[in-house]
């Protein structure tokens, strides 16, 4: 892998990936606006705010590959999402272009297509149908990645991350769960995919029996998820109840009430 830079390294996924990649990357550049401390000889800790283009460029110096996990992680006012998620991703991609970094992996979200119905197996080739302002920001993140791949030749892979949890805890997770083990697997595969993969968007979810997203083409991302949320179904209240096949995949995220508090007063 060479030197891998990870933005949002202090976050939930970043912390898991950090531990997993310590023994695989020659060097890990861990970037966050929260203070971090190096825990291994091959770790390099750097502080940067994604809104600061110069700080991002400085933090990515020396990287061969970038895993961009940083950003606002859920519904928020559009101005905040544009400033951090969209502009911040632009800063990462532009720094990568200037530095000649060979691969950028962007954390997208399943929420870019949350309004497709549960009965539909959704492909990343279909039009986006974001379930809220957060989903809109991630659709823009993917569009930026596509632009930098097409126009500037960067190799960009967007992972539409599912419900990242230690174990599934609600009925929707039976379709959307992404286990820590599978999260690491998808990320490792995205970081090391052949340079011929110029651009791809793939759903990153575990091998859930009720999954409603297309699994990645091995020619694009060679990873087969190992975990299945169904193994935990007996512990989830309501898991045995039949769902509405026409309901949106986003579940409660698709309700107006989820977004209304973040709109203009």
Residues known to be catalytic: 134
Helix intervals (H) in 7-65? 12-21, 53-59
Total length of the chain: 265
**52 C-beta neighbours (distance < 10 Å), count:** 14
Residue 231 near residue 209, CB atoms below 8 Å: no
| Longest pairwise C-alpha distance within the chain | 53
Distance CA 105, CA 65 (A): 8
Q: Strands 43-47 and 155-161, how do they pair? A: unpaired
Residue 69 near residue 88, CB atoms below 8 Å: no
Distance CA 125, CA 186 (A): 19
**20 C-beta neighbours (distance < 10 Å), count:** 17
- Bridge partners of 156, per DSSP, are 104, 199
Residue 97 near residue 148, CB atoms below 8 Å: yes
Residue 99 near residue 60, CB atoms below 8 Å: yes
Q: What is the DSSP letter of 126?
A: S
Residue 167 near residue 228, CB atoms below 8 Å: no
Q: Under DSSP, is residue 233 helix (H, G, I), strand (E, B) or coil? A: helix
């Amino acid at each position: 892998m060479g030197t891998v830079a990870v933005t949002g390294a202090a976050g939930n996924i970043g912390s898991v990936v950090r531990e997993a990649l310590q023994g695989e990357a020659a060097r890990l550049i861990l970037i966050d606006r929260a203070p971090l401390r190096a825990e291994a000889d091959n770790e390099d800790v750097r502080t940067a705010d994604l809104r600061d283009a110069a700080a991002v460029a400085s933090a990515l110096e020396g990287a061969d590959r970038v895993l961009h996990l940083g950003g606002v992680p859920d519904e928020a006012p559009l101005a905040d999402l544009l400033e951090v998620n969209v502009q911040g991703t632009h800063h990462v991609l532009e720094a990568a272009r200037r530095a000649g970094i060979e691969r950028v992996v962007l954390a997208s979200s399943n929420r870019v297509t949350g309004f497709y119905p549960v009965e539909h197996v959704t492909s990343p080739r279909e039009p986006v149908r974001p379930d809220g302002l957060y989903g809109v920001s991630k659709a823009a993140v993917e569009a930026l990645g596509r632009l930098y791949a097409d126009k500037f030749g960067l190799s960009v892979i967007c992972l539409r991350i599912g419900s990242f949890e230690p174990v599934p805890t609600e009925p929707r997770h039976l379709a959307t769960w992404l286990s820590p083990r599978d999260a690491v697997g998808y990320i490792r595969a995205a970081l090391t995919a052949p340079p011929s993969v110029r651009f791809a968007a793939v759903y990153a979810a575990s091998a859930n029996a009720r999954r409603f997203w297309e699994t990645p083409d091995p020619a694009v991302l060679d990873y087969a998820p190992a975990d299945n949320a169904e193994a935990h179904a007996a512990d989830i209240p309501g898991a045995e109840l039949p769902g509405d096949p026409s309901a949106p995949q986003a579940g409660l995220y698709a309700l107006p009430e989820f977004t209304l508090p973040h709109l203009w007063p």
